[in-house]
Amino acid sequence: MSVFSHREFDNHQQVAFFNDKKTGLKAIIAVHNTNLGPALGGCRMWPYATGEEALTDVLRLSRGMTYKSALANLKLGGGKAVIIGDASTQKSDDLLYAMGDFIEGLGGRYITAEDSGTSVPDILKMGQRTSYISGVDKASDHGGDPSPSTAYGVFVSLREAVAYKLGQTNLQGLKVAIQGLGNVGYRLAEYLNDAGAELFVTDIVQTSVDRAVFELNATPVSGDEIFSLDVDVFAPCALGAAINDQSIEKLRASIVAGAANNQLATPIHGQILHDRGVLYAPDYVVNAGGIIDVYYQRKMLSADYSAANYASDLSTKVEGIGATLREIFVRSEAENVPTFVIADRVAEERFNCASSEWQPAKSDAPAATRSYSKSV
């Protein structure tokens, strides 16, 4: 099948394939749109059964990054990379160096970060061959992991959704059901507990549930029960497709706001939520704290951008997710169109009206002589 007629192609600006016989690296980098800036997105390593499967994934994910960054008001475009292979058995230093060479060859159009199957040390290895990396900040207290910022963004979003839907600015006594107590879900639970909310939690890892019960006075519930609780907010923070044919029939919450990617199994589920008056805070708006963090971490590689700048810009921008959400909620209600449709429109308005595609700076020197001083 031609890449240009692929169902997920969506006018990608560039799709690059890389095959390195020596290291066994087979990778694809997709750059969806650079109107707002260089394309930033994680590098996933996954044992895709076919090249076609890998292509579908990278195109879909890269498009998603354009929308996410535009909605987060970042000067970034959308891109993604996939390495075809099993991260537990096929990853080697040489393969990661070769991936760094591949990224370097795109001249800064694409900037990478960690994703499923890659870690901060992996990205640092790629960084021995390219400066176009991020999410590896060693100066901050969390070592480059963007999860704390993602969790804070989810908290900000949840607060905004509650204010809009329930007219309540205080979270005291708010009932929230959290599915998934991982890096993001647990921190969200902490924020909510601090704000006085009542928590109902589930996770397939029992120790995480026990910890939330012990530390946050949360009520543990079964995996199935989490959907049907009489709560104000359902916060999916585990896997995708939490809102599906089965769960949507049980759902009693009037707000859905969580960290998980791709919460709607299909767009129809988003329409059903809208028709039933359930306020859905679109996942890629809500969980943008991570990309915002990665963006500012990269800025910190520049000599004139301090840790203090990072902390203040990060917090302002993550708080800004609330204003974008409110715009989406207001338009959704005024136009009687689901929030996820409005979110796409807001993103398209932002990146389509940007003046031009990103261009490499004229002063770009070869990788070997360049410092990490370029702005994102």
CA 207, distance to chain mean position in Å, is: 26
Q: In the annotation, is 374 catalytic?
A: no
Q: How far is the CB of 185 from ligand NAD (least distance, A)?
A: 5
- CB distance 52 to 8 below 8 Å: no
Question: Looking at 33, 134, 147, 339, which residue binds ligand NAD (CB under 6 A)?
Answer: 147
Q: How far is the CB of 237 from ligand NAD (least distance, A)?
A: 5
The answer to whether 202 contacts ligand NAD (rule: CB under 6 A) is yes
State the residue number with the nearest CB to ligand NAD. 182
Residue 183 or 324 with smaller CB distance to ligand NAD:
183
Closest CA to 78 of 282, 281, 264, 288: 288
Q: Which stretch binds ligand NAD (CB under 6 A): 36-44, 101-109, 236-244, 363-371?
A: 236-244
Q: How far is the CB of 355 from ligand NAD (least distance, A)?
A: 29
The answer to whether 239 contacts ligand NAD (rule: CB under 6 A) is yes
The answer to whether 146 contacts ligand NAD (rule: CB under 6 A) is yes
Provide the residue type at 245 as one letter: D
Residue 6 or 211 with smaller CB distance to ligand NAD:
211
Residue 15 or 314 with smaller CB distance to ligand NAD:
314
Residue 47 or 220 with smaller CB distance to ligand NAD:
220
- CB distance 154 to 148 below 8 Å: no
| DSSP-assigned beta bridge partners for residue 20 | 25
The three-state secondary structure class of 358 is coil
In the block, residue with structure tokens 């804070």 = 152
**Distance in angstroms (rounded) separating the CA atoms of residues 191 and 316:** 18
The answer to whether 134 contacts ligand NAD (rule: CB under 6 A) is no
- Binding to ligand NAD in span 256-275, by CB under 6 A: 259-261
Q: Which stretch binds ligand NAD (CB under 6 A): 7-15, 31-39, 200-208, 348-356?
A: 200-208
Pairing type for strands 43-46 and 175-179 reads unpaired
The answer to whether 135 contacts ligand NAD (rule: CB under 6 A) is no
The answer to whether 221 contacts ligand NAD (rule: CB under 6 A) is no
The answer to whether 196 contacts ligand NAD (rule: CB under 6 A) is no
The answer to whether 113 contacts ligand NAD (rule: CB under 6 A) is no
CA distances (Å), origin 292, targets 22, 234, 325, 344: 36, 24, 16, 18
Question: Looking at 62, 112, 131, 179, which residue binds ligand NAD (CB under 6 A)?
Answer: 179
**Distance in angstroms (rounded) separating the CA atoms of residues 166 and 279:** 10
**DSSP secondary structure of 281-324:** --HHHHTTHHHHHHHHHHHTTSTT--HHHHHHHHHHHHHHHHHH
Question: How many residues make contact with ligand NAD (CB under 6 A)?
Answer: 24
Closest CA to 296 of 104, 76, 130: 76
The phi and psi torsions of 116 (rounded to 5 degrees) equal: -55, 130
What token pair was written down for 20? 């390195």
- Per DSSP, which regions of the chain are E strands? 14-20, 25-33, 39-40, 43-46, 77-84, 110-111, 175-179, 198-202, 219-220, 233-236, 255-256, 279-280
Q: Which stretch binds ligand NAD (CB under 6 A): 75-83, 84-92, 131-139, 255-263?
A: 255-263
Residue 139 or 239 with smaller CB distance to ligand NAD:
239
Q: How far is the CB of 23 from ligand NAD (least distance, A)?
A: 28
The answer to whether 201 contacts ligand NAD (rule: CB under 6 A) is no
Question: Looking at 139, 205, 311, 361, which residue binds ligand NAD (CB under 6 A)?
Answer: 205
Give Cβ neighbours of residue 218 (< 8 Å, ≥ 6 apart).
Answer: 178, 189, 193, 199, 200, 201, 209, 212
Active-site position among 26, 80, 125, 374:
80
The answer to whether 203 contacts ligand NAD (rule: CB under 6 A) is yes
The answer to whether 238 contacts ligand NAD (rule: CB under 6 A) is yes
Q: How far is the CB of 367 from ligand NAD (least distance, A)?
A: 28
Residues of this chain that interact with ligand NAD (CB under 6 A) are 146-147, 150, 179-185, 202-205, 208, 223, 237-239, 259-261, 287, 290
Catalytic residues: 80
